[in-house]
Amino acid sequence: MNGAQGRDPDPDPDRDRDRDRTWFLTRFRRGRARTPRSLVGGGPADRHTLAFDGRELPAQPGQSIAAVLWNAGILAWRTTREGGAPRGAFCGTGSCHDCLVTVNGRPNQRACLVPAGPGDTVTTQEGTGRAELGV
């Protein structure tokens, strides 16, 4: 005899659906979502700012300058030596040098690798970033 044939039909077919709905509502109500961050009570600590071409941008400890710029919706922050084409982060690993910026007056810093320090002054870089040398 087939086991399924001998069983009584489920007396309350909506029971599982209601149980799932209750489980969902107790855990994911609006504004009360349980996330890994909320479970441990963590959050970004010691936020600071940096200046990018005169704009104050929020930064968090450990963020790269490229991450800060992306977070602000800035995708290009230098131009190429020939043609002046816009560039931003490409590889994100320090290999391509597309993300060069001037940080605190030092040109050719890779934004994807340099951590955003409190009060850093970052500026777009045109060409080699060494216009004063006439290179």
Q: Contact residues for ligand FES (CB under 6 A)?
A: 89-92, 94-99, 110, 112
Q: Name the burial class of residue 60, with classes exposed (0-12), middle (13-18) and buried (19+) by CB atoms within 10 angstroms of its CB.
A: middle
> Among residues 90, 134, 130, which one has the least CA distance to residue 110?
90
Which residue, 94 or 118, has its beta carbon nearer to ligand FES?
94
Cβ 65 to ligand FES, closest distance in Å? 10
Which residue, 91 or 131, has its beta carbon nearer to ligand FES?
91
Cβ 104 to ligand FES, closest distance in Å? 18
Which residue, 37 or 97, has its beta carbon nearer to ligand FES?
97
∠ CA 62-48-33, rounded to 5°: 75
Cβ 16 to ligand FES, closest distance in Å? 50
Cα separation, 56 vs 69, in Å, equals: 11
